[in-house]
Structure 1
Amino acid sequence: MSSGNRDSRPLAGIALVCIGYACFAMQDAIVKWLVADYEVPEILFMRSFVIVAVSGFLVRYRKHPSIFKSPHRSSVVLRAALMFFAWLLFYNAARHLELAQLTTLYFSAPIIVVFLSIWILNETVDAGRWLACVVGFIGVAVASNPTHTPDLIPTAMCLLAGFFWAWSTILVRLVSRSESTLTQMYATSLLFGLACAVSFPWIWRTPDLMGLVLMLGLGVIATIGQFILYEGFRHAPASALAPIEYTGLIWAFIYGYMFWSEVPAVNVFAGAALIVASSVVLIAWERRRKAFVT
């Protein structure tokens, strides 16, 4: 498939990714409830279990070819490993860093995506995408307002988690050139769940009814979000979609108010405005670029 065909629907990709990150923000809200009583690997295993059950059924029903016979199978295994370590690093860093510091550090990931898209995918990053990405990152910094010097080790953990997530995002774009969204979801979540299960002898705690409902609900939301996100990356370049990840912070503010009555400060609204502006700049740039090409 040519580069032109892959990039023929960037606005559709942007819209899908916006919805996907809204789902992931809801996922983070559920995880925030669950980590008070359960270990991260157990939560993530249940999440992966639901994704594997749903995507596995659809893969067999639609008779998709096995991704483990694909020339990109090594990329699928690598992506599963990257996601596994990204989750573990991020949630362990959250035990030591303030939320503002954690958020600022983690949202370096979209910037990393832009650099990796040049290196791995040979994508051309134009001025509009760079501008949107930088404005979005400034918005995150303003909204998070980190005022204390973070501890070195948790800071390194969070930055490394952002790097792993960015790399896994690039691999989605790479594998999507030849593999369907469902087969990617099935294979990645299967490997991810198996990795989490290794720790069960030491961390497993049988969930109560509410915990089980939340874990299964987490899996359903993650399935929907992951499918939409993968589809988005099939329609637009990774560098174009990188700034859209910043909208996840806005959803985090909304969910924080809805579930915990957390009212954002003035700087949060200012940062959110910059984040929205970065997405508006990106959409306007893509429309102008598309009109120029046609």
Structure 2
Amino acid sequence: MSMSPLAAHERIGKGIVFMLLAVLCFALMDVAMKHLAGHMSSMQVAFFRGSMSLPFIVLWLVLAKRMDRVRPRRVGLHVIRGFISIAFLVLTVITLRELPLANAYAIFFVAPLLITLLSVPLLKEKVGIHRYSAVAVGFIGVLIMLNPNAMGFLSYGVIVGLLATLGYALVMVLVRFMHRTETSESLMLFFVLSLSVGCGLLALFDWRPVSLLDVPWLLGLGLSGAVAQYLLTEAYRMAPPSVLSSFEYSAMIWALVLGYMLWGDWPGPWVLVGAAVVIASGIYISHREALRKKDLVDTDQSKLQH
């Protein structure tokens, strides 16, 4: 039975609210990682990112009766994704430690540009002149925010941040491919499982004492990560990606607010201008992607009618 326009509109509205809440939870998770990275090794923080979220995710899968959906079909792809995820998350922790939160987010927003470019050789997707132009404009925004008067090209935090963003883009392209055979539940579970095992083993070489003062931060890290993952899954169940993708950029608002409240950080004007250009490019790419998918659906329906 088809859904009424009003019901569909309300469902999409709920999806947007879930996305905004998911972005807030991810920002709180990053705040916890940034705090812990001040006195723990990056491997150790990455390990806690996975291990503290794992119980919450398993509990949700059990209560929602979705454990039967976690069985992987292509184990090799999960292993490859696990290795790349370990690398990009460790680099992300280092970036959060080295840079103000808003500056780190400004770099992370480059990911949609890289995903667009990587999808051509890796997924054989066709990218038209509009999206290529948006990518070019987006990289102009990168140059603006990374100029010597802003963050600077050669700082350790910036270089690591760009590598982290490249790793994240590779993982997202791989996830797109894996969605053809794997369930969202398996992708979610094996992501945190790979972080727990892989980063846990690596963290043993540079393990630092954990104090009682760290416990609330660790619990907050696990809970915010798990809740964010749940909200994100529900958001995409209720609304299409073409609607939700633009709301991911609300993360910059939380980065500015939380960074200023907790550490007194405020990015310079060049960073804000460059980030605005990158965000605008990312939103336009999402818009063009939505139009492309709509055209494909319309073409398929036209073929069926004939």
* Shorter-chain TM-score above 0.5: yes
Q: State the alpha-carbon separation in 2 of the partners of residues 265 and 96 from structure 1.
A: 16
Determine helix, strand or coil for the equivalent of 1:70.
Answer: coil
1:48 corresponds to 2:18 = no
Q: What corresponds to 2:228 in structure 1?
A: 225
Equivalent pair of 2:34/2:97 in contact (CA under 8 Å) = no
Instruction: Go from structure 1 to structure 2 and tell me whether the alpha carbon gap of 1:187 and 1:103 turns closer, same or farther (over 3 Å shift).
Output: closer
Structure 2 unaligned spans of 5+: 1-11, 299-306
**Pairs within 5 Å for 1:158-173:** 158-173=161-176
Q: How does 1:65-84 map to 2 (within 5 A)?
A: 65=68, 67=70, 69-84=71-86
Q: Give the equivalent residue in structure 1 for 2:111.
A: 109
Structure 1 residue 185: Cα displacement: 1.4
Per-residue CA deviations over 1:50-104 (Å, capped at 9, x if unaligned) read 322122223334143364x533322222111111011223444677789999777
The CA deviation at 1:114 is: 0.9
> Within the alignment, does 1:30 sit opposite 2:50 as a pair?
no
Displacement of 1:129: 3.6
Selected match of 2:183 from 175, 180, 184: 180
Q: 1:27 to 1:40 in 2, by over 3 A?
A: same
Kept in 2: contact 1:107–1:137 (CA 8 A): no
1:258 aligns to 2:261 (yes or no) = yes
1:195 aligns with 2:190: no
The separation in 1 between residues aligned to 2:204 and 2:285, in whole angstroms, is 47
* 8 Å Cα contact 2:101/2:255 also seen in 1: no
Could you list the per-position Cα deviations for residues 219-248 of structure 1 after superposition, in whole angstroms to 9, with x for gaps in the alignment? 2222233344566778448xx95x876654
Deviates most, 160-169 or 116-125: 116-125
- Mapped contact 2:19–2:235 kept (Cα < 8 A): yes
Task: Return the alpha-carbon distance in structure 2 between the equivalents of residues 95 and 283 of structure 1.
Answer: 30
Deviation readout 1:160-194 (Å, 9 max, x if unpaired) = 33222111111222223343323221112112111
Q: Write the distance in 2 (CA, Å) between the matches of 1:85 and 1:246.
A: 24
Q: Gapped runs of 5+ residues in structure 1? A: 1-10
* Equivalent residue pairs, number: 280
Question: How has the CA–CA distance of structure 1 residues 168 and 19 changed in structure 2, closer, same or farther, with 3 Å as cutoff?
Answer: farther
State the secondary structure of the residue aligned to 2:53: helix
> Partners in 2 of 1:63 and 1:287 — Cα distance?
30
Cα distance, 1:258–1:177 mapped onto 2, change above 3 Å: farther
1:205 partner amino acid: R
Structure 2 counterparts to residues 115-154 of structure 1, below 5 A: 115-147=117-149, 148=152, 150=154
> TM-score of the superposition, structure 1-length normalised?
0.73
Q: Distance in 2 between matches of 1:291 and 1:139?
A: 29
The 1:104/1:266 distance shift into structure 2, 3 A limit, reads closer
Q: Are 2:264 and 1:271 equivalent residues in the alignment?
A: no
Counterpart residue type for residue 183 of structure 1: S
Secondary structure class of the residue paired with 2:67:
coil
8 Å CA contact retained: 1:17, 1:244: yes
Is 1:211 the counterpart of 2:211? The answer is no
Partner of 1:4: none
Contact 1:77 1:188 in 2 (8 A): no
Q: Give the conservation status (yes or no) of the 8 Å contact 2:46–2:93.
A: no
Distance across 2 between alignment mates of 1:233 and 1:74: 26
Cα distance in 2 for partners of 1:216, 1:38 equals 16
Alpha-carbon distance in structure 2 between the residues aligned to 1:279 and 1:110: 6
